[in-house]
Chains A and B, each alone.
Chain A
Amino acid sequence: MTRPPQQIVDLTDVAMSFGAVRALAGVDLAVAAGECVGLVGHNGAGKSTLVNVLAGGLIPDRGRIKVAGEDITHRFNVRTAHQHGIRCVFQELSLCPNLTVAENARIFHARLRGMSWKRRAAALIGAKLDEIFPGHDILPHDIIGDLSIGRRQMVEIARAFTVTVEPLDLVILDEPTSSLDAVTAGQLLAFVRRQVAMGTSVILISHMLGEVLGTCSRIVVMKDGGVVAAKPAAAFNRESLVSAMGTVVEVQGVAPRPEIAGSRQGEVMVEARSRRQLNDRKLVAHRGEVIGLAGLAGHGQTRMLLQIFAAAGKGDLFAEVRGPVAIIAGDRQTDGIFPLWSIGQNVTIRSLRGMVRRLLIDSDQERAMAATWQQKMRIKTPNMDDNILTLSGGNQQKALFARALGSDAGIVLMDDPMRGVDVGTKIEVYDRIRQEAAGGRTFLWYTTEIDELKYCDHVYVFRNGIIVDDIPRDELTEARVLSASFHEAA
């Protein structure tokens, strides 16, 4: 094929508002064949809205959409987008939880019908999973709901790259690595590079700036619903990218917690053992400590947190917990937000019990708490009485932080809570965690990002549901965490 480099999609002056919130303010974006475009920006910068417009899920208020040189603004929807070879991997996963991996692949491909469609769907998705994530342990007949969020993300990604009869020209990956551990994320990025070399275009949205810089050929920076910079990736480095996004906080050289090195002292707040643990290794958290739970995604860290949460107040054979516990969910759609409620109600729910005066909840106190925490967490909204779903994903997550940090809980469990949160917010939250820990709060923090472990006083590495290593702060290295995570598997 000797066709000239062609624009796969070409958006001109696309604008979109949700009520009073202007999500897109006239965006131009063109993606050429065989190009990998990185899309970066703060939470609420309009990235997810732009992606939804590209995927045909949202009809913009204004603007023109050209696909393969053809103006199809007026008949552009999810179906035509798919027919024109545009696929999207969403940040909020879009698989049907009650169906198997293979059945979910079938939903995408109407072609898979007839007698043996299940077998062919299984072969299709299985081959793609093998290609992208060699060594994965997902079976085509696994039910999606039984898979961890990381594995669901892998299936969602693999499905987007499967091809039957419709073309595959552009894949949009919205925060694809936020639920993946370092190894699978690396596999994905390597695959993306191979795909791009073969002529497929990719739009990569990520808060991990290293990924974007290392994978993309061109980077588009968004801020407040508009494009503020679009240059070849080589023209950016970490600092210039951060300053283009408008982050005020210094990213490099964040000094991790200087105090307490090695000396583990103070009252023991949590003592927990994994149910599968055969030796007597256990997780211990002292008052005011930040404890990291590391390892590959889905290796029992969340289960441990839930076990501790369930044991709070009543105790259990495997866990002893002193004091009230709050949890910050990473999977906010299923574990976190109440979609019918306002932002304020979502923040206050954990603390209402303390606001009851003569049987009734004190409304003034409730409003005051919402206002205080809007400020403390810098939740970006004109009104805390607006529905929680008017917030961008990262701001919803901030509301969940506010819920836990505003509560009376002395122990805060965090289940990979920084998923899809931008750099600026992360730094703010890290700071707050440090302050709260200095004030005597205990944190148990499951994270898939090695960088975040640097904020912890002590790290436990999980593999196959058990603790395989515990690392004091001053001995923590990436190599040691990785080697513990892979000990037998490698």
Chain B
Amino acid sequence: MTVGVVSFLRGQAWIWSFLATAAVWMATIIFTGGVGGGQILTAALSFAIFTVIVGIGQMFVITTGPGNVDLSIPATMALSGAVTTKLMDTQNELIALGVLVALGIGICVGVFNYLLIRLLRIPPIIATLSASFLVQSTAIAYGRGLRIKPPPALADFTTAQIAGVPVLALCGLAFTAIMGLVLARTMYGRSVLAVGQNMRAAWLAGINVERTRLMTYMLSAMLAGLSGLLLSGFSGGSSLNMGEEYLLASIAVVVIGGTSVAGGRANVPGIWGAALFLYLLVTMLNTFGASAGLRLILSGLIIITVITLAGGGERKR
């Protein structure tokens, strides 16, 4: 019985990110002598949810095949945050409009990214990076760096907790489950997986390859836009550099979570494990009293180690 469970778990790539998360958490509370274990988890869930949302978008993009990546996520978050906080102007009634605008910004950025890739035949890494300069500049020109408070209801919602569990994290969990279903059981999800394995074979199997790619870049940018709105609610207003850390984080959670960088194989639960791991890693190093420089070096080394371990089984195929 136990042997069965163990061998089942060994086959799941996401298990590594959760094991790493558990190890880091244990190390932290052993160091503090068991103090604050719960609070650390609450904080981890509160912050990790933003990485999860953009990470899922990035996962779909990376799964559509080698070379596909969305580097415009941070800029889209910044633009969405700047535009929506100004638009909502601290009024609760305008939240719904703000959400629509955040998603609309995502759609525009996604379509723009796709057009650069498709019409101008620019590699995605360069197309999304150059698009992100345009988007970021728009955010700067539009927001002028003013920090506007979010509507109170949005701030309450993004910081609310039920018995120490952030409401946003619960919503995120439901969202993750839905996206897992989308990937495995919808025509769009299957198309993404097929295109990621072999674009030509997917075309010949009757899949609309270009529509799949367009929808994927749109999805990623829409999630970035939504995440920008939620993050500005969570942190009491938007700032132009609030998306910065999500450039590496969105890619790292995809890879650590067990999604194949070569495309065609995605891993939804792994995104959660990896996002929690990234947050707890920083917490642990802070608790140990590591200096900023040392913290970054150790984070880098540990991420490399986990990616190597998580990807180890896959490379044998």
Using a CB–CB cutoff of 8 Å, the interface residues on chain A facing chain B are: 309, 324, 326-327, 329, 334-341, 345, 349-350, 352-353, 356, 359-361, 363, 403, 407
Stretch at the interface among B85-93, B100-108, B198-206: B198-206
List residues of chain B with CB within 8 A of the CB of A363.
Answer: 185
Number of B residues, CB within 8 Å of A: 19
Which residue from chain B places its CB closest to the CB of A355 in the assembled complex? B187
Among candidates A336, A339, A345, A356, residue contacting B204 with C-beta atoms closer than 8 Å? A336
User: Is the Cβ of B185 less than 8 Å from the Cβ of A361?
Assistant: yes
Among candidates A324, A334, A349, A361, residue contacting B205 with C-beta atoms closer than 8 Å? A349
Question: Shortest CB–CB separation between residue B22 and chain A, in angstroms?
Answer: 28
User: Chain B interface secondary structure, helix, strand, loop or mixed?
Assistant: helix
List residues of chain B with CB within 8 A of the CB of A350.
Answer: 205-206
User: Is the Cβ of B186 less than 8 Å from the Cβ of A338?
Assistant: no
List residues of chain B with CB within 8 A of the CB of A352.
Answer: 187, 190
In the bound assembly, the distance between CA atoms of A339 and B265 in angstroms comes to 11
Which residue from chain B places its CB closest to the CB of A359 in the assembled complex? B186
* Pairs across A and B, CB under 8 Å, 15 listed: A326-B206, A327-B204, A335-B200, A335-B201, A336-B201, A337-B201, A338-B193, A339-B198, A340-B197, A349-B190, A349-B194, A352-B187, A360-B181, A361-B186, A403-B205
User: Is the Cβ of A338 less than 8 Å from the Cβ of B201?
Assistant: yes
Using a CB–CB cutoff of 8 Å, the interface residues on chain B facing chain A are: 181, 185-187, 190, 193-194, 197-198, 200-202, 204-207, 260, 264-265
User: Is the Cβ of A340 less than 8 Å from the Cβ of B187?
Assistant: no
Which residue from chain A places its CB closest to the CB of B264 in the assembled complex? A340
User: Is the Cβ of A334 less than 8 Å from the Cβ of B185?
Assistant: no
List residues of chain B with CB within 8 A of the CB of A309.
Answer: 204
User: Chain A interface secondary structure, helix, strand, loop or mixed?
Assistant: mixed
In the bound assembly, the distance between CA atoms of A110 and B200 in angstroms comes to 34
In the bound assembly, the distance between CA atoms of A341 and B201 in angstroms comes to 13
Question: Shortest CB–CB separation between residue A205 and chain B, in angstroms?
Answer: 26
Question: Shortest CB–CB separation between residue A19 and chain B, in angstroms?
Answer: 14
Q: A334-B200, A338-B198, A341-B197 are in contact. Are A360 and B264 (CB under 8 A)?
A: no
Which residue from chain A places its CB closest to the CB of B181 in the assembled complex? A360
User: Is the Cβ of B204 less than 8 Å from the Cβ of A338?
Assistant: no
Q: A338-B264, A340-B264, A407-B206 are in contact. Are A356 and B187 (CB under 8 A)?
A: yes
A-B pairs with CB below 8 Å: how many? 56
List residues of chain A with CB within 8 A of the CB of B264.
Answer: 338, 340
Known: A334-B200, A340-B197. 16 other contacts (CB 8 A): A324-B206, A326-B206, A327-B204, A329-B204, A338-B197, A338-B201, A339-B198, A340-B193, A352-B190, A360-B185, A361-B185, A361-B187, A361-B190, A363-B185, A403-B205, A407-B206
List residues of chain B with CB within 8 A of the CB of A360.
Answer: 181, 185-186
Question: Shortest CB–CB separation between residue A414 and chain B, in angstroms?
Answer: 12
List residues of chain A with CB within 8 A of the CB of B202.
Answer: 338
In the bound assembly, the distance between CA atoms of A345 and B194 in angstroms comes to 10
Which residue from chain A places its CB closest to the CB of B260 in the assembled complex? A340
Among B205, B264, B265, the one with the most A-chain Cβ atoms within 10 Å of its Cβ is: B205
Question: Shortest CB–CB separation between residue B298 and chain A, in angstroms?
Answer: 34
List residues of chain A with CB within 8 A of the CB of B265.
Answer: 340
In the bound assembly, the distance between CA atoms of A309 and B207 in angstroms comes to 12
In the bound assembly, the distance between CA atoms of A161 and B260 in angstroms comes to 39
List residues of chain A with CB within 8 A of the CB of B201.
Answer: 329, 334-338
In the bound assembly, the distance between CA atoms of A363 and B184 in angstroms comes to 10
Question: Shortest CB–CB separation between residue A325 and chain B, in angstroms?
Answer: 8
In the bound assembly, the distance between CA atoms of A177 and B267 in angstroms comes to 42
In the bound assembly, the distance between CA atoms of A334 and B198 in angstroms comes to 8
List residues of chain A with CB within 8 A of the CB of B198.
Answer: 334, 337-339
Question: Shortest CB–CB separation between residue B155 and chain A, in angstroms?
Answer: 34
List residues of chain B with CB within 8 A of the CB of A353.
Answer: 187
Q: What are the 10 A-B residue pairs with the smallest beta carbon separation, nearest first? A: A338-B197, A360-B185, A340-B264, A349-B205, A361-B185, A327-B204, A350-B206, A350-B205, A340-B197, A340-B265
Question: Shortest CB–CB separation between residue B71 and chain A, in angstroms?
Answer: 25
In the bound assembly, the distance between CA atoms of A336 and B194 in angstroms comes to 11
Q: A340-B264, A361-B186 are in contact. Are A349 and B207 (CB under 8 A)?
A: yes
In the bound assembly, the distance between CA atoms of A363 and B200 in angstroms comes to 26
Question: Shortest CB–CB separation between residue B69 and chain A, in angstroms?
Answer: 19
List residues of chain A with CB within 8 A of the CB of B194.
Answer: 338, 349
Which residue from chain B places its CB closest to the CB of A361 in the assembled complex? B185
In the bound assembly, the distance between CA atoms of A363 and B205 in angstroms comes to 19
In the bound assembly, the distance between CA atoms of A360 and B182 in angstroms comes to 8
In the bound assembly, the distance between CA atoms of A329 and B198 in angstroms comes to 13
List residues of chain B with CB within 8 A of the CB of A359.
Answer: 186
In the bound assembly, the distance between CA atoms of A407 and B207 in angstroms comes to 13
In the bound assembly, the distance between CA atoms of A291 and B206 in angstroms comes to 22
List residues of chain B with CB within 8 A of the CB of A356.
Answer: 186-187
In the bound assembly, the distance between CA atoms of A327 and B198 in angstroms comes to 15
In the bound assembly, the distance between CA atoms of A194 and B88 in angstroms comes to 84
Which residue from chain A places its CB closest to the CB of B206 in the assembled complex? A350
Which residue from chain B places its CB closest to the CB of A306 in the assembled complex? B204
List residues of chain B with CB within 8 A of the CB of A341.
Answer: 193, 197
Question: Shortest CB–CB separation between residue A464 and chain B, in angstroms?
Answer: 25
Which residue from chain A places its CB closest to the CB of B195 in the assembled complex? A338
In the bound assembly, the distance between CA atoms of A312 and B217 in angstroms comes to 27
Q: A341-B197, A352-B190, A361-B190 are in contact. Are A335 and B185 (CB under 8 A)?
A: no
